[in-house]
Amino acid sequence: MRDNTRFQGRAVAACVAVLCGGTTPVALAQVSSATLRGVVSADGKPQAQAGITATRLATGQTARTTSRSDGSYVLTGLAPGEYRIEAQASGFPGTSQRVVLQVGQAASLNLQVSTQPVSLQAVTVTGSRLVENKTSEVGTYVTPRQMERLPQVTRNFLSFAELAPGVSFTTTDDGSTRLQGGAQRATGVNVFIDGVSQKNYVTQGGISGQDSSRGNPFPQSAISEYKVLTQNYKAEYDQLTSAAITAVTKSGTNEFHGDVFVDHSQGSWRASTPAEKEAGKKVDSKQTQSGLTLGGPIVKDKLHYFMAFERKDNRDPQAVTPGEHATVEDVPPAYRGLLGPVNVPFKQDLLFAKLDWSVDDANQLELSLKYRDERETTNLKGQATEPWSTHKNNDETRVALKHQYSADDWVNEARLSYERSYWNPKAATLGPGLQFTTGWDKGNAQPVLNVGGGEDFQKKGQKGYALQDDLTFTDIEWRGRHIVKTGIKLKSITVDAQEQQPYNPQYFIDVNGNGDPYKVHAGMPLTGVGDGSARSRNLQLGLYVQDDWEVNEHLTLNLGLRWDYERSPSYLDYKTPADVVTALTQTPYAANLAAGGVNVQDYISDGGQRKPFKKAFQPRLGFSWDFEGDQRSVLYGGYGRAYDRNIFDFLQLERTKGTYAKQEIVFGPGEWKPEYYTPEGLAELLASRSGGAREIVLMHNKLKVPHSDQFSLGFRKALGEWNTDIGVSHVRSKNGFTFLLGNRRDGGRFFDPGTVWGAPSTYHVPGYGSLILGTSGLETRTTALFLQAQKPYTRLSGWGLTVAYTYAHARENRDFEQHYSLDYPDLKGYGWKPSSSVSKHKLVAALVQDLPWWGLEGSVRLSYASGRPQYYINESRGEGQFFIDQLERGSTRQVDVALGKEFPVREGMKLRLRADVLNLFNARNYARYKTTAEEFGRPDGSLAGPPRTVKVTLGASW
């Protein structure tokens, strides 16, 4: 801690010095803006000192530069949108072109000033979107027209990310959504909106607010466009190991504009779910989304405003069913009325507001606010009944201030941001919970139904400030042309977690017994120790340098290096309680641990052994070779390393489990008393068993940081209006976090002699419960071939098409969904298996089409994915010989269509009507399959995606 304190002080000083020294107004970093470069020539000769002006047509904002001695020019920090690009060279008439720049794009546009009519290259046709082929990045643009026109299940802008090969947007059977890249967990994703990272530091989901949520992370009506990057992202991108999303929001313009919409679907507009068919009735469900946007000038060409509000009000269908090994007859008659279809409520409000001020040609300011508020019921499906469900609050506020300065040959951006995001699930009912099971008498209890008060109470979140500065040099010449960017980010973020599990006592009852509980789980704060809460004020520091080096007209090199550092005091300064140290090192049980290969000294800390990781150096190296120098045939490739972080939801368990004890009491014959159902009786019982089963959770003193190494090689080819891309990539992720079981039998054995199954879960540390060890070790390996073809939409042709196909060979050393690995003494027992999260074959196609009848606008989205493995416990070899196995789930396929029309009402105002049909052919895309011997491989009725659903949208714009 001594040297770290000095390091922290130097880091803060360095960052403040850069920010204060860089008080010069700022430019958008390439994460959220565009760069335009090219050569100005006159009569075929490069023109030095030519003036180039880029004017954003919607706002009147301008950027200016002059060409170098070789005629080259660079404009960076350009907000995405349509521009008029003008060039003026002394002695020649000026020239003007209109182009559209996209988010994160590095586009090329050669300008010719001449007495003759201008002859443009194919990629610089007036008003067209410039194509970015001379880059090593592997990515896909999602355009405004695609977001406006393509059908979708929910207004989550991330759902269109599947247009990029290797990216999956998954809707789980409870309606929550997840974005992932390749075979890695969703925690490896990062999303940048206007250059601000939306990273979730505490819970899973990758981005804040997206842990098990049906909500949307941002109002879709406020997103202008975005880019999906899967490999070879540059050094600006931090805190990720898989896909990066960089999005830019809409801004007000020189004209006042507004839009309002309502879209709606209800139970009678959709096909029955499998559970509804089986029950013979359909639940009353609905999905209603509405919104409003307004934007316009406060001072023309100078100051503009924009705001967007969206509301979501759902009642989604679910089903409560007996456990897989049970039937309706196993459920006590008093609770059978809780079985069958149910609807699950969800409400969300989203607000985004922005002011942007173009102070002058060099200075720009931008202030934005995001607010999210959602309330929902979760954990209402399967064996979880409505009384046993969870009520969850999910709130988020973000504020960002950006300041940009543009000089002739450099651009600087400084940003100050604040964030607060909290996730708070709690039991819907206060009172005893009853968990009915079968098979307790055989030592193999299987769930039947859960009623009464649920287990959940959590409050987890993050809040803090970030300072960032990015400086870009555009006029460096040495064996070619360089654009060099360097940046620093300092973040002080407080992460919180309170976890009291189980909040309500849980009584376990065998339905084949006499009706009395055979055990109880109960939790309580430890007097004088804590209440199951943990807090850490973390320091994050990131530095990078990126050189985009155009060696000549054929070869471009992208050379970057990033370094990240994080100090997490909650983990680093933790002191293992003395009583726990004694139990692990000075009792007979210590010999079992040592003989079983558990070195407890790796996990025992006195507050000084643990050090922050300082070796997070991340080279980002790429190249592109333009065969003809016209961007129509380009070979590209690269290698990059990317580091993420260990989320606090895992690390905090070392503290919270040590201050809120979960006890398990098993009742012997005649020990159960009815008064144990009362708080007073339970307290008396717990006091009499004070030795308790307090679980011990310890973290490895040298916990590693998750990272991935990415390799790619590809070829892009422009064929007429089509842009095609074929490539191969290989990604290895390492050091994913997992929990191992430290319990050992006498003599250090994990299994009984002659067996390969049956973890020693009841062989507790004397006086405590199980020993759970947090460590690093999860890995994935993915090799993928991807093909992509895109014909951009133009008004002239009236249609646009994107097709993406991915073949993936992905393997993992533990189930993608699990961070607990308690079945074997280490990860080797699980072996390498096909990834449960990646399909070998995946095809996504999206068509936007202007129809020739009555001004109708149509669109189609098609997706197909071959079956993914599902993990299960294979019991075919008999007791004690069980093992982890996989079965192949069926493929999924879905066709969505949309048809809309606009109706002019008066000048400047239109009404629109649109109908979406989701899952047109009502394909049954099952989420899970049964694994019992009698019904092995049969769907359990849960769906991954909607049944056929009709959604109608009514809107107006002006």
pLDDT at 118: 44
| Residues 422/211, Cβ–Cβ less than 8 Å | no
CB count in 10 Å sphere of residue 59: 22
- Tens of pLDDT, residue by residue over 228-247, are 999 899 999 999 999 999 99
Burial tier of 66 (Cβ tally within 10 Å: 0-12, 13-18, 19+):
middle
User: What does each C-alpha distance from 430 to 103, 435, 518 come to in angstroms?
Assistant: 49, 15, 22
pLDDT at 96: 86
* DSSP result, 416-468: EEEEEEEEEEEESS-S-EEEEEE-GGGT--EEEEEEES---BEEEEEEEEEEE
CB count in 10 Å sphere of residue 137: 24
Average pLDDT, the chain: 90
Cα of 435 vs its chain's centroid, Å: 33
- Tens of pLDDT, residue by residue over 276-323, are 888 888 888 999 999 999 999 999 999 999 999 999 999 999 889 999
pLDDT greater than 80 at residue 670: yes
pLDDT greater than 50 at residue 29: no
pLDDT at 698: 97
- Tens of pLDDT, residue by residue over 536-586, are 999 999 999 999 999 999 999 999 999 999 999 999 999 999 999 999 999
Report the distance separating Cα 597 and Cα 824, nearest Å: 12
- Tens of pLDDT, residue by residue over 850-859, are 999 999 999 9
693 pLDDT band (50/70/90 cuts)? low
pLDDT at 690: 56
| Residues 188/179, Cβ–Cβ less than 8 Å | no
Range 651-666 average pLDDT:
87
442 pLDDT band (50/70/90 cuts)? low
What are the chain's domains? 31-129 (2.60.40.10), 257-957 (2.40.170.20)
The residue assigned the tokens 């430019």 is 27
Report the distance separating Cα 694 and Cα 72, nearest Å: 69
User: What does each C-alpha distance from 563 to 286, 468, 488, 617, 645 come to in angstroms?
Assistant: 48, 14, 10, 5, 13
- Look at 13-17, 162-166, 282-286, 508-512 and tell me which has the smallest mean pLDDT: 13-17
